Chains A and B, each alone.
Chain A
Amino acid sequence: MKARVHIMLKNGVLDPQGEAIRHALGTLGFEGVEGVRQGKVIDIELAATDAAAAEAEVGKMCEALLANTVIESYSVEIL
């Protein structure tokens, strides 16, 4: 089973990299880009066969290591 974790900076946390991307898109002539936020995607291969248990386990991984919950939010998707 595969799990996909999305990690984003929380709303309100300034994302300097996202801002740089927004500026660069403007420079390339793309109009109307009102905001860009950059995050991370982490794919995890799991031996588990139970989707609910796997999702709970990956949630624990997010809390323990994958996300810094002071500044980041995460979501888990079982693929």
Chain B
Amino acid sequence: MKAAVLVFPGSNCDRDLAVAFRQAGADVEMVWHKDTRLPDGVDIVGIPGGFSFGDYLRCGAIAARSPIVGALKAHVERGGYALGICNGFQVLVETGILPGALIRNAGLKFICKPVDLTVETAASDFTNGYTKGQTVTFPVAHHDGNYIAKSDTLAALNDQDRVAFRYGSDINGSAESIAGILSENRRVLGLMPHPERAADPVLGGQDGANLFRSLAIASVTA
């Protein structure tokens, strides 16, 4: 598996994400936001957590208009994998690659703690290392993780089995406790919780490691 991790001014989970990919066996290249192309042969693009451009205007809004995003969109259109975590999820909804929007947490507080999530579908190359209905624990660290979408978008996400994770209990006001969603072709995942911070026992958990391992397996056979 060859992974590219995008780096924006204010990204702060980029190296953690690179470590998680490497531990799953990937070659990883970091790609600066001003670049206009991805390295040759990239299977997956990781869009990391952080506070790209200081969360100015809207979280992820400026990053979503960066020069590298044209290459990201082309990669996704070709059927390439992309994983957006936290601010990366915000970037993916701002680009329109994933539907809906992420607004201020209903409780207005920045939430930073491990949370239980339910794996809602194992039918994706991100989640087939889990079983449907399984509870996993990933940390969250966000101020704007309140997922909202039109009712027809929510219906489509449910009908097409595209909700990947839900919070075990409501933490931020997200519609239907949605924590992460898949694209229509199931090759793009955006989620607010941080699997890369739960990918090594030293860091307090390894529930997230399966996500990276199953991606590595999928990209070999893809």
Interface residues of A, Cβ cutoff 8 Å to B: 9, 13-14, 16-17, 20, 64-66, 68, 70-71
Which residues on the B side are within 8 Å of A66 (C-beta)? 57
B65 adjacent to A13 (CB under 8 Å): no
Q: Is B129 an interface residue (CB 8 A)?
A: no
Complex Cα spacing A71 to B149, Å: 8
B104 contacts which of A17, A65, A68, A70 (Cβ < 8 Å)?
Answer: A17
A68 contacts which of B58, B62, B105, B107 (Cβ < 8 Å)?
Answer: B58
A14-B103, A70-B149 are known; give 17 further A-B pairs, CB within 8 A.
A9-B103, A13-B103, A13-B148, A14-B173, A16-B103, A16-B104, A16-B107, A16-B173, A17-B104, A64-B65, A65-B57, A65-B61, A65-B65, A68-B61, A68-B94, A70-B100, A71-B103
Chain B's nearest CB lies how many Å from the CB of A25? Answer: 15
- The winner among B57, B62, B100, B173 for most chain A CB atoms within 10 A is B57
How many of chain B's residues touch chain A, expressed as a range? 20 to 34
Q: Is B217 an interface residue (CB 8 A)?
A: no
For B120-155 the 0/1 string (1 means CB < 8 A from A) is 000000000000000000000000001011000000
Interface residues of B, Cβ cutoff 8 Å to A: 57-58, 61-62, 65, 93-94, 99-101, 103-108, 146, 148-149, 173
B57 adjacent to A16 (CB under 8 Å): no
Complex Cα spacing A20 to B105, Å: 12
Which residues on the A side are within 8 Å of B65 (C-beta)? 64-65
A71 adjacent to B146 (CB under 8 Å): no
Chain B's nearest CB lies how many Å from the CB of A40? Answer: 8
Question: What are 7 contact pairs spanning A and B, CB under 8 A?
Answer: A9-B103, A16-B103, A16-B108, A68-B58, A70-B100, A71-B101, A71-B148
Closest Cβ neighbor of B107 among chain A residues: A16
Chain A's nearest CB lies how many Å from the CB of B117? Answer: 22
- The winner among A9, A14, A16, A17 for most chain B CB atoms within 10 A is A16
Chain A's nearest CB lies how many Å from the CB of B176? Answer: 14
A16 adjacent to B101 (CB under 8 Å): no
Complex Cα spacing A71 to B57, Å: 14
